[in-house]
Amino acid sequence: MASEEGAVLDAQQQRQSVEWFKYSKRVVLRSILCREDKGLGLVGERVVVGGWVKSRKEKAEKCPAEAQDETWCEALFSRMPLLRSIARILVGNDGAFVPRPAAGPAKSELVVAYLRINDGSCVANLQIVVDSSMSLLGQVMSIGTSILAKGVVEKIPSPGKYVVQLKVEKILHVGIVDIKKYPLAKTRLTLEFIRAYPHLRPRRTMVASVNRIRNVLSYATHMFFQNNGFLYVHMPIITTTDSRVCSKMFHVTTLFSKSDDMEKLIKTSDDEHINLEVVKAAIREKRNRIDELKRSDSNKEALIDAQRDLQKANELALQLEKQQKSAFVKIGEVDFSNDFFSCPAYLSFSMKLHLESYACALSSVYTFGPIFQADESQSPRHLAEMWMVEAELAFAELEDVMNCVEDLLKFICHSVLENCSDDMTFMSKYKDKNCINRLQSIGSSSFARITYAEAVEVLNQVKDQTFETKVDQGLSEEHESYLADKIYRRPVIIYEHPKEVKPFYVHVKDDGKTASTFDIIAPKAGVLVRGSQKEERIDMISKRIEELGLPQEQYDWYLDLRRHGTVKHSGFSLGFEKMIMFATGLDDIRDTIPFPRTHGSANT
């Protein structure tokens, strides 16, 4: 019993005491503002805090002797809120903050600045109170200024959303803002506007919230897999397996850097080159001939012809000279033997194939890394660089991975609700009022599961909607979104697609027509997950590669997995940015990732 009492006391002390951040001599705002008591238990404590100014108010206060009155007045207000309302009506402002007079305060007055700062650890801001007795006051007033300050936690006389503030005793560091150049100086700016400043935008509350949600989704993903015995394996970003049939790929090269060493780049041998010297010699001959013709004065037409000839030869020589000044690489026939990897290399647009090789040895594996698509789309659902969660399970069939991914999504959504409640509240208030509901409903019901054929049937019965393409021509993104957004209003698993709409590596069912595949379509995000059972039979998969005209030799290593100890295995890919759209309600995928890369845009 004694130890139990001790534990209770310890817990109380824990609650009371200031939690200094271990790796910087300050207290993180979250550990003040996100306590259950909103920081009340820390009143009287001396702390150091840091952050960037989010908003400010100034107030000209009377000199200390008179200021007493105001404190008394504030105390009265706080006990009788009605009085404040009356004051507000009479005075015409909120009865607390008097705008600083344009002429500056009288000498006997103390200017007090109420700055709200944020350090990125939570949505909440801490109000810090700085007065003009500190020489730095003029510097700290701009939005975006960084401040490190020491002070005492005190109760806000008239508590509202916040109940404590920091009375600053000493400003330890200021990072001023060049207000003329600071693009985020205004308070109301659209996501679209601040997208142009990816390096500054996490200072905006919504972007910070999205990043905290992204962080929790990432970590929860790892937790889910680790708790279930999966191994995290890092798959290669650079690959020599050309899968351009599936998506446009980026080349990775050092050829452009070898400008000092040009000759090596040129595959064509010297004799294939237009020899400028030959042309120059021809010009000399033509000149001689013209001189000759002039001298002989025999054939005027021949002279004109010859002069025209010379002119053309001169033009050719000029062009050749220009071209030869810089060396050439033949496109479509680039000589990759001098490239870094001695062959064409690409940025991977899926880790799937490589991941399979690890599943065919370690059984249950996952990866979480960037993938790349060089499509020139400007769609709000498209990025050139995205993060992808991919899992592959040996000895697993299609239904196993459907269950797995459904559990994963439930787990990570629950984790966001649990760990990011303030951020989700913020998102639901300022971005998408349904976002919390969406996450909650994921946990409370199973996903709808329908076959592709059933999906077609359901959509064919829709009367009050005209689609851009007909359902019978194959389901498009538009149809799928309609299913999730309008009909089921929750994530839908569509499975067993016609094999033609799926890649070569999927398992084809015994009917020879449908594939063991599924997609998960989610409201707001569209296609969130693609999953499939892989074709484990070497003859079947070789046939598919041939049918589709893929470069067989490039897949030889991949076919080895079927040649040597093949297993049934299945996996899925979760588009991580799509997941963030689903969770936050963001409309544009570029707002889900710190530094978005899209066609024509990568400005850092």
Binding residues for a second copy restricted to 310-339, rule: CB under 8 A: 312, 315-316, 319-320, 322-323, 326-334
- Site residues for a second copy, window 288-307 (CB under 8 A)? 289, 305
The least distance separating a second copy from the CB of residue 234, rounded to whole angstroms, comes to 6
254 is a site residue for a second copy (CB under 8 A):
yes
CA–CA separation, 370 and 288 (whole Å): 66
CA–CA separation, 351 and 386 (whole Å): 12
228 is a site residue for a second copy (CB under 8 A):
yes
46 vs 486 by CB, closer to a second copy = 46
148 is a site residue for a second copy (CB under 8 A):
yes
Q: What is the secondary structure of 456-491 as a DSSP string?
A: HHHHHT--S---SS-GGG---HHHHHHIIIIIISS-
- Site residues for a second copy, window 522-541 (CB under 8 A)? 536
Kindly indicate which of the ranges 150-158, 187-195, 343-351, 483-491 contains the residues binding a second copy, using the contact rule CB under 8 A: 343-351
372, β-bridge pairs: 385
The least distance separating a second copy from the CB of residue 254, rounded to whole angstroms, comes to 5
Q: What are phi and psi of 252, to 5 degrees?
A: -110, 125
Kindly indicate which of the ranges 56-64, 75-83, 524-532, 587-595 contains the residues binding a second copy, using the contact rule CB under 8 A: 587-595
Q: What does the buried/exposed string (b/e) look like for 64-75 if buried means 16 or more CB atoms within 10 Å of the residue's CB? A: eeeeeeeeebbe
Residue 150 near residue 129, CB atoms below 8 Å: no
CA–CA separation, 73 and 434 (whole Å): 43
Q: How many residues bind a second copy (CB under 8 A)?
A: 154
From candidates 20, 340, 467, 488, binder to a second copy by CB under 8 A: 340
The least distance separating a second copy from the CB of residue 413, rounded to whole angstroms, comes to 18
245 is a site residue for a second copy (CB under 8 A):
no
C-alpha distances in angstroms, 63 versus 27, 115, 259? Answer: 31, 20, 71
Kindly indicate which of the ranges 38-46, 48-56, 62-70, 482-490 contains the residues binding a second copy, using the contact rule CB under 8 A: 48-56
Kindly indicate which of the ranges 24-32, 36-44, 85-93, 452-460 contains the residues binding a second copy, using the contact rule CB under 8 A: 24-32
286 vs 479 by CB, closer to a second copy = 286
86 vs 262 by CB, closer to a second copy = 262
403 is a site residue for a second copy (CB under 8 A):
yes
C-alpha distances in angstroms, 374 versus 154, 602, 603? Answer: 55, 13, 17
193 is a site residue for a second copy (CB under 8 A):
no
Residue 177 near residue 142, CB atoms below 8 Å: yes
The least distance separating a second copy from the CB of residue 462, rounded to whole angstroms, comes to 34
Residue 349: is it exposed, middle or buried by C-beta count within 10 angstroms (0-12/13-18/19+)? buried
SS3 85: helix
The least distance separating a second copy from the CB of residue 112, rounded to whole angstroms, comes to 22
601 is a site residue for a second copy (CB under 8 A):
yes
83 vs 255 by CB, closer to a second copy = 255
- Site residues for a second copy, window 101-120 (CB under 8 A)? 119-120
The least distance separating a second copy from the CB of residue 56, rounded to whole angstroms, comes to 13
251 is a site residue for a second copy (CB under 8 A):
yes
Angle between helices 352-362 and 556-563 (to 10 degrees): 30
- Site residues for a second copy, window 256-285 (CB under 8 A)? 256-259, 262, 265, 268, 272-274, 278-279, 282, 285
99 vs 594 by CB, closer to a second copy = 594
From candidates 181, 188, 300, 463, binder to a second copy by CB under 8 A: 181
From candidates 153, 396, 520, 586, binder to a second copy by CB under 8 A: 396
CA–CA separation, 276 and 121 (whole Å): 67
28 is a site residue for a second copy (CB under 8 A):
yes
* Reduced 3-state DSSP string for 183-225: CCCCCCCCHHHHCCCCCCHHHCHHHHHHHHHHHHHHHHHHHHH
Residue 343: is it exposed, middle or buried by C-beta count within 10 angstroms (0-12/13-18/19+)? exposed
343 is a site residue for a second copy (CB under 8 A):
yes
Residue 507 contacts by C-beta under 8 Å, 6 or more apart in sequence? 398, 515, 516, 532, 533, 534, 535, 536, 568
Residue 580 near residue 217, CB atoms below 8 Å: yes
- Site residues for a second copy, window 484-513 (CB under 8 A)? none
From candidates 233, 439, 450, 493, binder to a second copy by CB under 8 A: 233
From candidates 96, 130, 168, 249, binder to a second copy by CB under 8 A: 249
The least distance separating a second copy from the CB of residue 536, rounded to whole angstroms, comes to 7
C-alpha distances in angstroms, 304 versus 60, 81, 300, 317? Answer: 93, 103, 6, 20
122 vs 475 by CB, closer to a second copy = 122
Give just the sign of the alpha carbon dihedral 130, 135, 140, 145.
negative
377 is a site residue for a second copy (CB under 8 A):
no
The least distance separating a second copy from the CB of residue 57, rounded to whole angstroms, comes to 19
H/E element, 498: none
561 is a site residue for a second copy (CB under 8 A):
yes
H/E element, 350: none
CA–CA separation, 438 and 583 (whole Å): 7
SS3 172: strand
166 vs 471 by CB, closer to a second copy = 166
| Site pattern 195..214 for a second copy (x: CB under 8 A) | --xxxx-xx----x--xx-x
Residue 40 near residue 123, CB atoms below 8 Å: no
